Amino acid sequence: MNEAKKETELKPVRAVGARQPRDPGRRRVLRALALGTAAVALSSARVPAYANARGGAWWQRMDAAREHLNGATPREGGIQLDLPGVTQDGSAVPLTVEVESPMDPDDYVEALYLYAAGNPTPEIADIYFTPLAGRARFSTRVRLNRTQAVHALARTSGGEWLAASREVRVTVSGCLSQDGTYDFDSLMRTRVRASERLGAGEIGDIRTLVDHPMETGLREDRDGRTIPERIIHSFQAEFNGEPVLDIRLYRAVSANPYLRFPIAPSESGDAVFRWEDDEGETATESARIEVG
Amino acid sequence: MLGKPVNRREALKRIGLMGAGAVLAGCGLPAYANRGSNGRVVVVGGGFGGATAAKYLKRFQPSLDVTLVEPSRRYYTCPFTNLYLAGLRDFESLGHDYRELEDTYGVRVVHDLAEDVDVDRRRLKLAEGAELSWDRLILSPGIDFRWGALEGYDEAAAEKAPHAWKAGPQTHLLRAQLEEMEDGGNFVLVAPENPFRCPPGPYERVSLVAHYLKHNKPRSKVLLLDAKDNFSKQGLFMEGWAEHYGDMIEWVGLSDDGRVIRVDADRLEVETEFGTIHRASVLNVVPPQKAGAIAQRAGVADESGWVPVEPNTFESSRVPGVYVIGDATEAAPMPKSGFVASNQGKITARAVVADLAGREVPEASWTNTCYSVIAPEWGITVANVFEVHNGDLREVPGSGGVSPSGAAASFRRNEALYAEAWYAGITQDVWGTRPGE
């Protein structure tokens, strides 16, 4: 962590319905080109450390999952894990996961762990919910460096473990070319779209995006030097000061992290979102939600 | 009988060695050998894939009984429609007929719509009631649109905000709208996520629309809203746009809120994921796609809507004896291009001929070339070679490439000429169209 923490200014939520001024085209080009390179860089990486001869279920073969389970055996089912069966772009594969749960204070999903078993490091994200989320649902875009299984592991407040898996075949389209570097001009620029008005008991929807290269630490620059890892590692959402969701992100989350999740407020108030990267750079955003 | 389980191809090979017609019946295989031909092959779809397959089946094995089912008597190609939209090419120059297939190669061409497939009885039902029997079926149905998958975009909406992603009335509609558009208007193209027909297509289209506007309505703007963060030949397109159109073309990718989640065709408005509303003078929506309808009826498509195939032959992974080629297939990393569809037609024709003759199917490899025209004298390309490796399709490492960036204008001019020559060459190969016809 860098000691010199810089706080970016609080930005207003972008108004719905108005066309926003955008960056000049060149910057966008550079940034977009960089998105493709991350997946390519991943594919040149070393054999994953957990890939050993141990048999059994996937969670027994993966150190990160085994540590969380601490001897428990998850039940397969109760999790809907959606990814495309085939994808032409391993640099941003849409992922949506939902765990069946009433999300009551006495029965909710506490933690959801996502893994890409075939990546150099398997962790994608650890998501910690509270009942205020309303549903244990989460969407993002992930990097998959090759054809592989994506896994989800969930722990309920009652201590039960659930597991689910999904195979994804990754190809690289012959019509894609990728090069370039990330342009840092818009680093930590955020976008948020939240439900503005909800009926009593209605569950709202929040989408966020932050500009960030999510540099993996696995690729080299033109001179053959490894570009150090620099990612957004933390995201938090609160509503009227109460936590809704807390996410630890890993380098398998695509550049410009996209995070979508529900919220179930019982009264009107302000949702506040906070991102932080490895160098202590942070961004904060808020959105007003009226209830009733 | 044969000692151990064998697959159909192996069984055919062994049967071929025995030469025993009775064994064929016992295996439930078609007894084509006693019909005076080397088998009946029905090909559905007269585009780049199907027309090529029909022709090359007859070239490889003239005694085959080959029927091509295609509703149109004159087929208009999707490639080069962007030149028509720009006013650079006559629409009729994109039309091709089936006379050479019939007269020179002896393909029976049936102008009807393939409506349903009875896999068990090996019959294809046509819209006008006829049925065709086959020993092997090749489907090359192209794409259908997933109407409604993008909120607000259905067939009725396409009459106001055309897709023009199949050559025909939609292409004319978009051209008419461009002609009617006021100077200073806003042309908006909505590009989908992968996979879709013609990966460089949306980017060539905005290029050539910009060419038309630059010369006819120079105060106009072109906005491309994209559900992706990178696209085919991106660097070369960007370079060409800067060279020819300055800031007339604006591309907004996924991370810049380019993904459209709702279309309002009456108001010519689209809404992006983070709530930006874009208003268009002319709205061109390239919608999400799936394999053509007959692929769904034949049971060869999977839950993605596309058709998984065996890599070496393009025989359906789900229905033996049915082969699928072209845009309908899940053949990534091969793109959904006309060139690849035609190449798949040749390779699959060879596989079918070998299979029917009881010969081992030769190892396959395919090529692709995609030309894109950014301005009349400014062309770019991507080329690739593909193979089967460990049971999967892949690009042969180091085989392909794109045009160099920063090349001289003369280089780009030559590539634009090659693009024209490419079109003349491939349409002559597939349909027998001669230059000037």
Distance from CA of B12 to the nearest CA of A (A): 32
Cross-chain Cβ contact A25/B251 below 8 Å: yes
Cross-chain Cβ contact A16/B334 below 8 Å: no
Nearest CA in chain A to B366: A174
**The dihedral sign for the CA sequence B317, B318, B324, B326:** negative
Nearest CA in chain B to A19: B276
Rounded to the nearest 10°, the torsion over CA B304, B263, B226, B339 is 50
Percent share of chain B, pLDDT over 70:
91
Q: What is the mean pLDDT of residues B404-432?
A: 97
- Is residue A146 less than 8 Å (CB to CB) from chain B? no
Question: Under CATH, domain A25-291 is a member of which superfamily?
Answer: Immunoglobulins (2.60.40.10)
Nearest to B332 among A33, A86, A91 (CB): A86
Nearest CA in chain A to B241: A25
Largest CA distance in chain B: 78
Give me Rg for the CA atoms of chain B.
Answer: 23
Cross-chain Cβ contact A174/B382 below 8 Å: yes
Cross-chain Cβ contact B275/A16 below 8 Å: yes
Q: What is the mean pLDDT of residues B209-232?
A: 96
Distance from CA of B102 to the nearest CA of A (A): 34
What is the interface size between A and B, counted as CB pairs within 8 Å?
A: 128
DSSP conformational letter for A200: T
Can you tell me which residue has the tokens 């025909």?
A: B168
Residue B69 CB partners (closer than 8 Å, separation 6+): B42, B43, B44, B45, B46, B110, B112, B113, B114, B124, B126, B132
SS (H, E, C) chain B: CCCCCCCHHHHHHHHHHHCCHHHHHHCCCCCHHHHCCCCEEEEECCCHHHHHHHHHHHHHCCCCEEEEECCCCEEECCCCHHHHHCCCCCHHHHEEECHHHHHCCCCEEECCCEEEEECCCCEEEECCCCEEECCEEEECCCEEECCCCCECCCHHHHCCCCCCCCCCHHHHHHHHHHHHCCCCCEEEEEECCCCCCCCCHHHHHHHHHHHHHHHHCCCCEEEEEECCCCCECHHHHHHHHHHHHCCCEEEECHHHCCCEEEEECCCCEEEECCCCEEECCEEEECCCEEECHHHHHCCCCCCCCCECECCCCCEECCCCCEEECHHHECCCCCCCCHHHHHHHHHHHHHHHHHHHCCCCCCCCEEEEEEEEEEECCEEEEEEEEEEEECCEEEECCCCCEECCCCCCHHHHHHHHHHHHHHHHHHHHHHHCCCCCC
In 3D space, the residue among A104, A156, A111 whose CA is nearest the CA of residue A266 turns out to be: A104
- Is residue A33 less than 8 Å (CB to CB) from chain B? yes
- Is residue A30 less than 8 Å (CB to CB) from chain B? no
Q: Give the model's pLDDT for residue B137.
A: 98
Distance from CA of A16 to the nearest CA of B (A): 5
**The dihedral sign for the CA sequence A49, A55, A56, A57:** positive
* Sheet strands (E) in chain A: 75-76, 79-82, 86-87, 93-99, 109-116, 123-129, 136-142, 148-156, 161-170, 190-194, 197-198, 204-210, 232-239, 242-249, 258-263, 269-277, 282-291
Q: Give the model's pLDDT for residue B264.
A: 98
Residue B354 CB partners (closer than 8 Å, separation 6+): B360, B361, B362
The ipTM of this complex is 0.82
Check pLDDT > 70 for residue B307: yes
Tens-place pLDDT, residues B137-192: 999 999 999 999 999 999 999 999 999 999 999 999 999 999 999 999 999 999 99
Structural tokens at position B307: 């058709």
Tens-place pLDDT, residues A142-188: 999 989 999 999 999 999 999 999 999 888 643 443 445 567 888 99
Q: Give the model's pLDDT for residue A87.
A: 86
CB B324 within 8 A of CB B300: yes
Question: What is the number of helices (H) and of strands (E) in chain A?
Answer: 3, 17
Q: What is the mean pLDDT of residues A73-85?
A: 95
Q: In B, which residues are within 8 Å of A192 by CB distance?
A: 274
Tens-place pLDDT, residues A267-285: 999 999 999 999 999 999 9
CB A289 within 8 A of CB A238: no
Q: In B, which residues are within 8 Å of A86 by CB distance?
A: 304, 306, 330, 332
Distance from CA of B384 to the nearest CA of A (A): 7
Give B381's strand partners: B371
Q: Considering only A1-15, B3-17, B44-58, B347-361, which range has the smallest mean pLDDT?
A: A1-15
- Is residue A25 less than 8 Å (CB to CB) from chain B? yes
Sequence ranges of the domains in chain B: 8-23+30-144+290-363, 149-287
Cross-chain Cβ contact B386/A174 below 8 Å: yes
Give me Rg for the CA atoms of chain A.
Answer: 19
Per-residue pLDDT band for B80 (boundaries 50, 70, 90) equals very high
The H-or-E segment that residue A214 falls in is none
Q: In B, which residues are within 8 Å of A40 by CB distance?
A: none
Cross-chain Cβ contact B255/A174 below 8 Å: no
Tens-place pLDDT, residues A11-70: 334 333 333 333 434 444 444 444 444 444 444 333 343 444 456 899 999 999 999 999
Distance from CA of B306 to the nearest CA of A (A): 10
Which of A16, A139, A175 to mutate: most B Cβ within 10 Å?
A175
Distance from CA of A161 to the nearest CA of B (A): 29
For the ranges A20-29, B28-37, B238-247, the maximum mean pLDDT occurs at B238-247
In 3D space, the residue among B237, B239, B236, B234 whose CA is nearest the CA of residue B254 turns out to be: B234
Q: Give the model's pLDDT for residue B38.
A: 76
Q: In B, which residues are within 8 Å of A23 by CB distance?
A: 256
Q: Give the model's pLDDT for residue A54.
A: 52
Cross-chain Cβ contact B230/A172 below 8 Å: no
From chain A residues 103-142, the ones with a CB under 8 A of any chain B CB are none
Distance from CA of B17 to the nearest CA of A (A): 39
Q: What is the mean pLDDT of residues A92-103?
A: 97
Nearest to B370 among A16, A172, A175 (CB): A175
User: Do the domains at B8-23+30-144+290-363 and B149-287 have one common CATH topology?
Assistant: yes
Check pLDDT > 90 for residue A290: yes
Tell me the backbone φ, ψ of residue A253, rounded to 5 degrees. -80, 135
Distance from CA of B250 to the nearest CA of A (A): 7
Nearest to A173 among B274, B276, B335 (CB): B335
Nearest to B278 among A19, A171, A172 (CB): A19
CB B356 within 8 A of CB B39: yes
Cross-chain Cβ contact B229/A36 below 8 Å: yes
In 3D space, the residue among B51, B196, B167, B142 whose CA is nearest the CA of residue B324 turns out to be: B142
Cross-chain Cβ contact A256/B335 below 8 Å: no
- Is residue A193 less than 8 Å (CB to CB) from chain B? yes
- Is residue A16 less than 8 Å (CB to CB) from chain B? yes
Distance from CA of A173 to the nearest CA of B (A): 4
Its CATH class, for the domain covering B8-23+30-144+290-363, is alpha beta
Give B404's strand partners: none
Q: In A, which residues are within 8 Å of B392 by CB distance?
A: 147
Percent share of chain B, pLDDT over 90:
87
In 3D space, the residue among B39, B255, B207, B261 whose CA is nearest the CA of residue B133 turns out to be: B39
Cross-chain Cβ contact A175/B199 below 8 Å: yes
- Among left, alpha and beta (phi > 0; psi -120 to 50; other), residue B413 is alpha
Tens-place pLDDT, residues B334-357: 999 999 999 999 999 999 999 999
Its CATH class, for the domain covering B149-287, is alpha beta
Nearest to A175 among B232, B276, B393 (CB): B232
CB B341 within 8 A of CB B430: no
Q: In A, which residues are within 8 Å of B229 by CB distance?
A: 32, 35-36, 91-92, 255-256
Tens-place pLDDT, residues A193-235: 999 999 999 999 999 999 999 999 988 888 889 999 999 999 9
Structural tokens at position A234: 């933390």
Cross-chain Cβ contact B234/A17 below 8 Å: no
Nearest CA in chain B to A175: B232
Cross-chain Cβ contact A174/B230 below 8 Å: no
Cross-chain Cβ contact A19/B333 below 8 Å: no
Nearest CA in chain B to A18: B276
Nearest to B384 among A29, A87, A174 (CB): A174
Q: Considering only B24-28, B45-49, B426-430, which range has the smallest mean pLDDT?
A: B24-28
Nearest to B230 among A176, A193, A258 (CB): A176
CB A143 within 8 A of CB A156: no
Strand duo B65-69 + A161-170: pairing: unpaired
CA-CA distances (angstroms) from residue B43 to A145, B55, B56, B139? 38, 10, 12, 6
Q: In B, which residues are within 8 Å of A176 by CB distance?
A: 199, 230-232, 234
Q: Give the model's pLDDT for residue A55.
A: 65
- Is residue A87 less than 8 Å (CB to CB) from chain B? yes
